[in-house]
Amino acid sequence: MDLQLTGKRALVTGSTSGLGEAIARRLAAEGATVVVHGRDEQRAVNVADAIRADGGSADIAVGDLATDAGAATVAGAATARGPIDILVNNAGGYDPIGWAQAAPAAWARLYEVNVISGVRMIQHLVPGMRERGWGRVVQIGGGLAGQPTADQPHYTATLAARHNLAVSLARDLAGTGVTSNVVAPGAIMVDAVRDLLVRLAPTHGWGETPDEIERAATADWVPNDTGRFGRPDEIASAVAYLASPLASYISGATLRVDGGTVRSVQ
Ligand SMILES: NC(=O)c1ccc[n+]([C@@H]2O[C@H](COP(=O)([O-])OP(=O)(O)OC[C@H]3O[C@@H](n4cnc5c(N)ncnc54)[C@H](OP(=O)(O)O)[C@@H]3O)[C@@H](O)[C@H]2O)c1
């Protein structure tokens, strides 16, 4: 299927690793010119080089989206060689602490990094999409937005905020040709998650081979219909579809990519 992304220019925030890297690579493979972003310039260069080596087209933008100045720098670099048609707000962080440790300052810090970061990029880039009459905004949310656990309450609250603001933005964009949607991953096997599972396997009795560990950790932590964690490419496929002209009748929607981890009709 041709996703009709050739000629589009996409900024994927936080694409120096993990889900963002997979999304950037997929959009580039589908013909978009991709702006690779992160705070670490060398890692951004490495991803952009890999995209070019695969025959794709990539630029880089470097900056901390947790500050107004950093976001302005990123927006300037991203648009230096042409306007952005597709914004994927993916950058963000975790903070594996519980209620007892998560002081108000930790809540505020994570809200800056995971929520206001994306708002900044929306405010820089969506007015141009509006003027041109076409655009796509995709937030990376998460199943924990609607089905939180006791852990990382400040993190799961930031996911819920991402879902909420995406729907509000969709309503604001009514009739403009610009859509706003959410891709909600379940637990995805990025490098940091793989390392964590291997480290925890002996104490949890999850087994020894990668397959054994993944099956047991899934059953313990994220039981779902597939019996496994998701893969970054599976998130990238969903983003590529929502970012494409083929998804022009979808706005304010959440596409769950979680193997059925979230058990709800909505
Ligand atoms: N992995 C999962 O299972 C999962 C599930 C649900 C949702 N998510 C969401 O998916 C997104 C990506 O997660 P991931 O697992 O792929 O994590 P990751 O590998 O740690 O990637 C995070 C990316 O965000 C960038 N970043 C972090 N803080 C930033 C800041 N202040 N300013 C600019 N860039 C920043 C990092 O770039 P630099 O280090 O170069 O700055 C990196 O490229 C996150 O927003 C996360 O909440 C992940």
The partner residues of 62 in beta bridges, in order of sequence, read 38
Closest to 159 measured CA to CA, from 35, 258, 40, 28 = 258
**Residues contacting residue 158 through CB under 8 Å, at least 6 positions apart:** 92, 110, 111, 114, 115
Is the domain spanning 9-186+232-253 CATH 3.10.105.10? The answer is no
- Ligand 1 lined by 110 (C-beta under 6 Å): no
pLDDT at 127: 98
Residue carrying the six token digits 């708002």: 119
- Ligand 1 lined by 112 (C-beta under 6 Å): no
What pTM value is reported for the model? Answer: 0.98
Distance, CA of 208 to CA of 253 (rounded, Å) = 40
What element of type H or E holds 214?
A: helix 210-221
Cα of 181 from ligand 1 centre, angstroms: 18
Beta carbons of 153 and 98 less than 8 angstroms apart: yes
- The whole-number mean pLDDT for each consecutive block of 10 residues of the chain, a chain of 266 residues, reads 97 98 98 98 98 98 98 98 99 96 98 98 99 98 96 97 98 98 98 95 97 98 97 98 98 98 89
Distance, CA of 220 to CA of 50 (rounded, Å) = 36
Beta carbons of 48 and 42 less than 8 angstroms apart: no
pLDDT at 266: 76
Cα of 175 from ligand 1 centre, angstroms: 31
Residue nearest to atom 19 of ligand 1 (CA): 18
- Ligand 1 lined by 40 (C-beta under 6 Å): yes
Domain borders along the chain are: 9-186+232-253, 189-229
Structure tokens at 116: 């206001």
Count CB atoms within 10 A of the CB of residue 221.
Answer: 14
